[in-house]
Amino acid sequence: MPFKFLFCGKAEKETNNVLDYSHKNLMNVPVDIYNHVHTLEELYLDANQLKELPKALFTLQHLKLFNISDNEIVVLPSNISNLSHLLELDISKNGFLELPDDIKGMKSLQSFDCSVNPVGRMPDGFTMLLNLTHVYLNDCFLDFLPANIGRMIKLEVLEVRDNHLTMIPKSINRLKDLRRFDLGHNEFCELPEVIGTLTNLKELWLDGNEIKCLPSEIGNLINLEYLDASENKLEWICNEIEGCEMLTDLYLTANNLVQLPESLCKLKMLEILKVDENQLTHLPTSIGGLSSLRELICNRNQLETMPPGIGLLRKLHTLNVDDNFIEYLPDEIGSCIGLTIVSLRQNRLVHIPDDFGRLANLVVLMISSNMIEYLPYSMMKLKKLQALWLSENQAKPLIPLQTDWDPINERRFLTCYMFPQRPINDGDIFEENEPDNEQSNFQPTYHEEEWKKRTSVLFDIDEEDPQVVRLSRQPTPFPKDIKDRVNQFRQHAIAKGHVTEHHSNGEMVFSEGETDKDYNIRSEHIMRLLETETVNSSSKTGEEDEEEQLLDQLQNTSLTRPNSQSIQRLTSNSSSSSYKLPSLGCYSDDDLDSSVKPNIKLSSDSGLGSMQLIEESNLWRNEYPTIHEVEDIIRVTIKKTPNLGFSVSGGINSPGNPFRPDDMGIFITKILSDGPAASLLQPGDKVLEVNDIDFTNIHHNDAVDVLKSCDVVYMTLSRRHYDQT
């Protein structure tokens, strides 16, 4: 019969031997617990706000499981040794600064979790708990392990992750029953040789250290099934790794590996191989020996091709080789009949082999950011294909494909509006997993073209009118001020009895880099349209006639100049106006000064209105200063970690760059926020010199090769910015 309690913090589990008070926001230990001194075996007080443990709590002689995790306790009473029958103790996520040496009295303890406590060191009595099988000391600020930890010969799991360990005691070779050993995120520079004596080890976690090589002793771990050595500084893997015959999972992500040993391919049981974010230039030719391999992840390397032996991986279901330099795939890849997910993004592929049609189980294929011209017709056989990603900004997973005929090769192929893919212009020098930048796939002149398409609206003003007013709408954060000035002049002109406005039904004309001749022809065309419409508008109302008279007093001096990019709009029942958008990089000091400051004039008989507008013009002149372009020369030093963290575009015979299309120099285009160049470079910087090599007249590929070949790059840059005076 279950116990019944009357207080509001009633336990969720109420049996003769289990009480669960977890997540109750308790400030103190409930006193009703002591009513079950002779029967209680499991007590859960985790995830509360307890700050101390009462001594009476340690009179629960029959307690076998005690959980006080995730509280605010800072002192563990020495009375805890009275719990002589306790099998599991969880004191993790508290604030313990030290553990009492009396803990050695808990002779029956089998599982001990002290993770996430700033204890600093373990007491000497800890190693006297000879029945311990599971010990968790993660994130405990440990600098070393007890020298005689080898006495705990029954240990099966030892986790000491997120500490400051640089070595492990030699006595650990006595832990013959150890199955899982977690040394992740410590400060090891080399793997201790004593690891090779743990022949029954099944899981070894070494991630997040600074290990440069795996020693030959690793081959002694004949029962090892899981090895994680990612996020280290590994430069090579010893050939003896072939001794780990039972290995099924091998993680080598984010290291400095240049090649993998051929002996690695003798691991017949290996199912998962992750070697992404390294510097591999090729995979072992005998990779087909990994007959059990299911996942092969090698993205973000420097691979140029895939070995033909990959066709022997019949159980492979996931292949990821993104962000490499692969130019072609072997036909043998069609033999990987188990493939369901293939990702080949951001490579240099020109075509997909016909044998891809044999991948009957393929579900997802990602081939965006390549240079593929079309798809083989054999891909029509892929009945299970649910996603075909051809572009980074593709809206739907599947795009309809059309059949076309290749007269040269005399065969059919598949294509759509996304083919041929755009070539990759940027040099892939960065290394980090960055979010895909959509603009990196655009044509180099895209931003320039977008700027050219910005609209300009033109005033049609009688040039012969003696009263000249120059009103020019510029991109400004205060458009309402300009409008108010125009309205002021309109009201003043109406008061004088001179109001005129032209209306026209016209057409939209896009102007991009027009010549002087085209400019004059366009202006004459606009004038003819306006004159025609003026004749047809004789039936306008009196109010419209008054508005027309206003513009008869204006002289058109703000038509877009030939070196400005504009769009002319003449719309029905709307007065035409002038908005100039000067082209990028074409400003002179005089141009900027005149384009910002309005030149407003009235006839001599304008009276007070003339003085008011002149004063406003002076205020305008003070409010908008002249802008000057300044070019700085900057020298920076960047070290690879393991790569440079930025990409470039431009160079001789290249499609250009998005910043200065007429400049054949090398420009910085993309910078990784967490890369070594993040605080040094800016998009748009022009590279003048790298390691004493002139970059002002260099081919794109040569520039990329120079940057990749250097561990330390000394760069001279040109950076433009604008100053106001």
* DSSP labels, 431-466: -S-PPP-GGGGS-TTHHHHHHHTS--------TT-S
Structure tokens at 91: 């004191």
Mean pLDDT by 10 residues, the chain (725 residues): 40 68 95 90 96 92 95 94 94 96 94 97 94 97 95 97 96 96 96 93 97 93 97 95 96 96 96 97 96 97 95 96 95 95 96 94 96 94 95 90 89 91 57 42 43 42 44 46 57 50 38 42 48 44 47 42 37 36 40 41 39 45 61 87 83 79 86 83 90 88 85 88 67
Three-state SS for 79? helix
Q: Which amino acid is at 46?
A: D
CB-based contact 392:607 (threshold 8 Å): no
Question: How many residues are given for the chain?
Answer: 725
pLDDT reported for residue 624: 52
Start-to-end CA distance of the chain, whole Å, equals 89
Name 491's Cβ contacts closer than 8 Å, sequence gap at least 6. Answer: none
Q: Which amino acid is at 683?
A: P
Distance (Å, rounded) from C-alpha 420 to C-alpha 332?
24
Distance (Å, rounded) from C-alpha 487 to C-alpha 481?
10
* Overall pTM surpassing 0.85 (yes/no): no
Distance (Å, rounded) from C-alpha 504 to C-alpha 243?
86
pLDDT reported for residue 642: 73
CB-based contact 105:128 (threshold 8 Å): no
Q: Are strands 566-568 and 509-511 parallel, antiparallel or unpaired?
A: antiparallel
CB-based contact 491:533 (threshold 8 Å): no
Distance (Å, rounded) from C-alpha 269 to C-alpha 335?
20
Peptide bond into 192 cis (omega under 30): no
pLDDT reported for residue 495: 53
Give the closest residue to 368 by CA, choosing from 400, 344, 342: 344
β partners of residue 406: 411
CB-based contact 344:370 (threshold 8 Å): yes
Give the closest residue to 685 by CA, choosing from 655, 663, 652: 663
